[in-house]
Amino acid sequence: MKQFLAFVRKEFYHIFRDKRTLMVLFGMPIAQLLLFGFAITTEVNNANIGIYNQSPGQFSNDLVQRMTGSDFFRLSANINSEAEMLEAFQTNKLKMVVVIPPKFEQNVTAGNAKIQLIADGSDPNLATILTSSAEAVIMTWMKERAGTNIQIETIDPQVRWHYNPELKSAEMFVPGVVTIILMLVSAMLTSISITREKELGTIEILYVSPLKPAVIIVGKVLPFAILSIINAILILLVAWLVFSVPVNGSVVLLLFEMLLFIMTSLGLGVLISTVADSQQTALMLSLFGLMMPTILLSGFIFPIANMPLPLQVISNIIPAKWFLIIIKNIMLKGIGMAYIWKETLILLGMTAFFIGVSVKKFKIRLQ
């Protein structure tokens, strides 16, 4: 036990004396969170749009006013020709142009009016959001008009977004950022810290010493486990205070699941260090072998259901996928173990597997 404590103390010295490690440990999570929170948002405010009104009149003016009166859009140019419109797109002045065709005024009264929404498709996400917002504004305008004049039979879908009623993007990215941070910090820093001793040659001294392989491994991962859980709590606090993302479910359960996922990641980190002989290799393996699949295939950014079948199958072996389901369920839906025991079991299995394999590989190296 005393040997173990001496080892853990040494590990803390390494961590607190290395600026790069500290940056990754505490600087990056906060930076990522703020970056995702403020820069990457799926909400649209004051998008620059243009109006190409080929049928000026009471109706078209009314509609234009309605559109530009909303928070979504800001009228930044009146377009007078197709060439002008193309130029505005090319110079990036406009994100969308509303084209009101000739005879719009007569057609509105006749009930067969058309309107064209042309959006800059080079940014598909934004284009989708803009056109659907515009459609919504037009629909409302139409309904109001219909209410005063004639009765049109329409079905009016009432949409409600459960668990995230305001469709805040923060509620989507906080669980994702927590997942990525825990994975990155635990796996990358552990694998680098072990391969560093390989590079320095100090690992040989540890092998020759009476320290058992298990003590070395646990001594290496324990400090990162402690710091990761502190990190996770910090992220949740920032998410709550800055972005008002609450934890709807049990905080204790969430911390327990986080600890489990940290163990999974630490296991992966040790596994990487048994394969990699240099810090450089460990870093590359962590970034491309873990980070990329975690970001792309966990369902954090791209929905798994929309992926081609082979990728959907592959996503099952990504631990982050399962953790993301768990953390979303606890944080947003506020549900308990009864609904996430399957995912928890899968993570437990993966963790046991990674730790088992790395301890075995670690021992083989000693032979």
* Contact positions vs other proteins (CB under 8 A): 2-3, 5-7, 9-10, 13-14, 17-18, 200-202, 204-211, 366-367
Q: How far is the CB of 210 from other proteins (least distance, A)?
A: 5
Q: How far is the CB of 215 from other proteins (least distance, A)?
A: 9
HEC profile for 260-310? HHHHHHHHHHHHHHHHCCCHHHHHHHHHHHHHHHHHHHCCCCCCHHHCCHH
Q: How far is the CB of 219 from other proteins (least distance, A)?
A: 9
Q: Indicate the burial class of 160 (C-beta count within 10 angstroms; 0-12, 13-18, 19 or more).
A: exposed
Give 333 or 361: the residue with its C-beta nearer to other proteins: 361
Closest C-alpha among 67, 47, 51 to residue 125: 47
Q: How far is the CB of 363 from other proteins (least distance, A)?
A: 11
Q: Which amino acid is at 208?
A: V
Give 33 or 216: the residue with its C-beta nearer to other proteins: 216
Give 207 or 240: the residue with its C-beta nearer to other proteins: 207
Closest C-alpha among 235, 197, 200 to residue 219: 197
Kindly give, in sequence order, each residue whose CB lies less than 8 Å from that of residue 88, ignoring residues fewer than 6 positions away: 50, 77, 79, 94, 97
Cβ 101 vs Cβ 56: under 8 Å? no
Q: How far is the CB of 20 from other proteins (least distance, A)?
A: 12
Give CA angle at 246 (334, 163), nearest 5°: 50
Count of CB atoms within 10 A of residue 287's CB?
12
Our measurement of the distance from residue 97's CA atom to the centroid of its chain's CA atoms, rounded to an integer in Å, reads: 30
Q: How far is the CB of 198 from other proteins (least distance, A)?
A: 10
Give 30 or 203: the residue with its C-beta nearer to other proteins: 203
Which DSSP string corresponds to 38-60? IIS-----SEEEEEEESS-SHHH
Count of CB atoms within 10 A of residue 128's CB?
13
Q: How far is the CB of 18 from other proteins (least distance, A)?
A: 7
Number of H helices, E strands in the chain: 17, 4
Give 159 or 366: the residue with its C-beta nearer to other proteins: 366
Give 172 or 194: the residue with its C-beta nearer to other proteins: 194
Q: How far is the CB of 14 from other proteins (least distance, A)?
A: 6
Q: Name the residue with tokens 């659907």.
A: 132
Give 83 or 364: the residue with its C-beta nearer to other proteins: 364
Give 2 or 162: the residue with its C-beta nearer to other proteins: 2
Count of CB atoms within 10 A of residue 215's CB?
17
Q: How far is the CB of 270 from other proteins (least distance, A)?
A: 19
Q: Which H/E stretch holds residue 100?
A: strand 96-100
Write out the two tokens for 70.
């909303």
The SS3 of residue 77 is: strand
Give 73 or 224: the residue with its C-beta nearer to other proteins: 224
